[in-house]
Structure 1
Amino acid sequence: MTLSQADPAMLDRLEAALHAGDSTRSTARLTGAELTPVGVGAMADTFKVRLHWNIPDAGPAGLILKQPAIDSAAAATAASLGAYEREARFYSELAPRTRVRAPRLYGVIDHAGVGFPDTVLLEDLTERHHPGDQLREVPIEDLDRARHQLALLQAPFWEDSATADLPWLHRRLGVPIPSILERMQRSWHSVTDTLAADLPADERECIDRFVASAADWAQLNPGPQTLVHHDLRVDNLLFSDDEIVLIDWQTIGWGSAMFDFAYLIGTSLEAETRRRYEAELLDRHVAELQELGVEWTEADAAETYRWAACAVLMMLVPPISSVKSNPRAVTMFRRMLGLGARQALDAGSLDLLTSRL
């Protein structure tokens, strides 16, 4: 890893953000900072930062800095999607309203000078936590702990109209998605002879059918509405002996309460394991939501889950055409697409979709 020293301008920005976020003593001054790149995010550059203060213990000894990507194309794409502003607003405005375990926010910075924060300064969890591995099945105990965090995220915002009206939340469900059919078909067709060829025939046929109906599926958006992470999978979880932390909030949005649940278990468990545990996990999720003050029944949740079982396909088909040069990504997408197709087949999701259109 390459280590670099923060220049005076960056030191000033870091110090100002930490003071504004009440993360330091008001009289403390930042005398130095070393940055080491971490992570492989597609839309942002992330650094582990070691901080030096003129007063011992005046502020955090280190933090994670997540800022717009140096790659101009990636930064422009993320900015056009509102990803940077959305993540900063989640940490500053919504995270304090829920008990979900996310990294602590130390401060925000308007890195690009566009009038809103696009950079977050976060608690450094790298010493005690390790990232999940999307290429391996998640132990059911860990998956249940992640599901519990989802309940903590959802309950405070359940059917909350004020939150639903926030203009910066991501809308992937219940709204028209421009050119979605064309984009899905182009992406899926591009891997017909490669990634798709490795899937069993019934899984390929399932994805074919879903691609043709994806726009209608997204517009259905059934069930209660609440916050949706939109990418809640093991690669976006940090694990320690005593907790699980949810990260990567650039796609936080509004939609069906079953979307994240279905996506999490669909991408975390092999098909046989999922079949064994999914009903139990769903009932447990509803029970925890009820304990948190939510009114919902297992029967209604199970019906919504049938629709949401296509969440994996909705998330993964559009980007698959861009992963050819990354061996890990190819392996990961192949695995998750197969799991998602099998999940949709087991739930009868496409038959449900046909009956509602």
Structure 2
Amino acid sequence: MNYPWHSAQHPGGKPARVQRLLRDASDINIDWLTRTLCYHDTCLPPIAAVACEAVAENHFDFTTRIHLHFQEAKLLPKHLLVKISRPNLRRNLGHMTSALFNREAAAYAELHYHHTCRVPKIYFSANDGDQFNLLMADDGDAFDRNQVLDQHYLPQVRAVLAELAVLHGCFMGTSPASAPRWLVRLRTGAEQIANHFRHGLAQLHSPNLAGVSAELLELLQQLQPLVAPWHRFERQGITITHGDARISNALFSAATANHWRASLINWQFCGLRNPMFDITCLLAKSLTVATRRQYENILLDEYRRQFEQGGRQYSAAEMVSDYRYNLCGPLIASVCAYGLLPEEQKPMTAQLIDRCAQAVLDWQSLELLSQRLKQITPKDY
């Protein structure tokens, strides 16, 4: 299917000459914010004071909340979020960093253009090859991405689920041939991901690593030769997906006492996939194993009803089959991340691997994967 894709597919680009990029939160000041925000509002009132607070950080970047106070007393304070890449990131990770930033910035522009799921308004995005900045509206509170959430966050999961249903329904049937090139295609990175998986699995076999069960290692060993074929397998029902859909990649604001609104952030891995790729990631990573088992089918049914409100059909049988198959996705991604992330983030990633592995075992996903691969010839994948 052909869509009227937004023409500004790479809004990152080079920053304006009058504007410099932030290297850390200490660079944020009234002059920088005034220059930046005047690109969008030439009638911006004078800023009297600026206060910053740390929100989240990871191996790639850190996010800071900015509180603006204006000189006119009658104006309420304004709140923004700025994402700043870590110093020397390009030196450590090569050209992948620019690709991640360009993809995220392009995703925000595309989604605003189509008015799909909620995403923050972007005020400024720039990439000079070594550093990137992303200044956006503050749409709510964020969870710490460096912690595995072990509490009952069903309302927040439901809020993200609703936004994903809108996103997936809007772009269902997207043709890889006509979609923007910056979107991830699973087939093109199959061998590279398989190599990352082998590296991560080797580290999980380390004798110094405690808490990794023999059952888990056996499951991952069985999955290893299937990683590349899983990525090459031609799927039906392709849409634009977030790529790392969990509640720590959303901002939340309370609509009512028991209802939340979610605004999806961190779109570095968005791409063309089956919609269940996002749903498996959300449920397997954002819920404890016990909570997922208790509410999984209820949440899947809620998603299907919301998806079909957009006018597209998704039968329960097809959705369950897609869900079962795509559970391999977050498990593969978590093992790859384990091999790439620094030591201090490995314990958290190991917990996510265990959660994803339990879901794969519950749904016998490897059995379904093996069955599907037997139905096609090697040249097809």
Indicate the TM-score class for this superposition, using the shorter chain for normalisation: 0.7 to 0.9
Aligned to 1:84: 101
Distance (whole Å) between structure 1 residues aligned to residue 51 and residue 155 of structure 2 = 37
Distance 1:311 1:322 in 2: 17
**1:94 counterpart residue number:** 111
Paired residues of 1:236 and 1:246 also in contact (CA < 8 A): yes
Match of residue 120 from structure 1: 134
Q: Which one-letter code corresponds to 1:89 in the other structure?
A: A
Assess, with a 3 A threshold, how the Cα gap between structure 1 residues 325 and 192 changes in structure 2: closer, same or farther: same
Equivalent residue number for residue 306 of structure 1: 324
- Does residue 349 of the first structure (1) align with residue 365 of the second (2)? yes
Secondary structure, aligned partner of 2:191: coil
Three-state SS of the structure 1 residue aligned to 2:267 is: coil
1:341 is paired with a residue whose SS is: helix
> CA separation in 2, counterparts of 1:195 and 1:290?
49
Question: Structure 1 residue runs of 4+, over 6 Å off?
Answer: 54-60
Check 1:79–1:204 CA distance in 2 against 1; reply closer, same or farther (3 A cut). closer
Greater CA deviation, 31-40 or 311-320? 31-40
In structure 2, the partner of 1:271 is 289
User: Are the aligned partners of 2:183 and 2:272 in contact in 1 as well (CA < 8 Å)?
Assistant: yes
Paired residue type of 1:147: L
2:243 to 227, 230, 234: 230
CA contact (8 A) 2:197 2:224 kept: yes
- In the alignment, the residues of structure 2 paired with residue 183 and residue 3 of structure 1 have an alpha-carbon distance, to the nearest angstrom, of 32
Is it true that 1:335 corresponds to 2:351 in the alignment?
A: yes
Corresponding residue of 1:288: 306
Give the whole-Å Cα distance in 1 for the aligned partners of 2:181 and 2:84: 22
| Of 162, 170, 182, the match for 1:148 | 162
Counterpart CA distance in 1 for 2:293 and 2:62 is 38
State the one-letter code of the partner of 2:364.
G
**2:73 corresponds to 1:41:** no
Q: Mind listing any 5+ residue stretches in structure 2 that lack a counterpart?
A: 1-23, 374-381
Residue 7 to residue 271, structure 1, CA distance change in 2 (3 Å): closer
- How does the TM-score come out when normalised to structure 2? 0.78
Aligned partner of 1:18 in structure 2 is 37
Contact 2:101/2:268, CA 8 A, preserved across alignment: yes
Distance 1:272 1:7, change over 3 A: closer
In the alignment, is the contact (CA less than 8 A) between 2:98 and 2:129 conserved in 1?
no
Taking every aligned residue pair, what percent have the same amino acid on both sides? Answer: 24
Aligned residue for 1:318?
336
The higher-RCO structure (CA 8 Å, 6+ apart) is 2
1:223/1:304 contact within 8 Å kept = no
Which residue pairs with 2:153 in the alignment? 139
> 1:182 aligned to 2:195?
yes
1:218-258 per-residue CA deviation (whole Å, 9 max, x = no partner) reads 11252311111111113223334332332212222221111
Kindly provide the CA deviation profile for residues 241-285 of structure 1, in whole angstroms up to 9, marking residues without a partner as x: 332332212222221111000111111233333233222222221
1:155-166 paired onto structure 2 within 5 Å: 155-161=169-175, 165-166=179-180
Counting matched residue pairs gives 343
TM-score when normalising by structure 1 = 0.83
Please tell me whether the aligned partners of residues 44 and 69 of structure 1 are also in contact (alpha carbons under 8 angstroms): yes
Aligned counterpart in structure 2 of residue 218 of structure 1, from 228, 231, 241: 231
Contact conserved, 1:43 with 1:68, CA < 8 A, in 2? yes
Check the 8 A contact 1:196/1:334 in 2, yes or no: no
Q: Offset of 1:37 from its aligned partner?
A: 4.5
**Could you tell me how far apart the structure 2 residues matched to 1:224 and 1:58 are?**
48
> In the TM superposition, what is the alpha-carbon distance from 1:289 to its structure 2 partner?
0.8
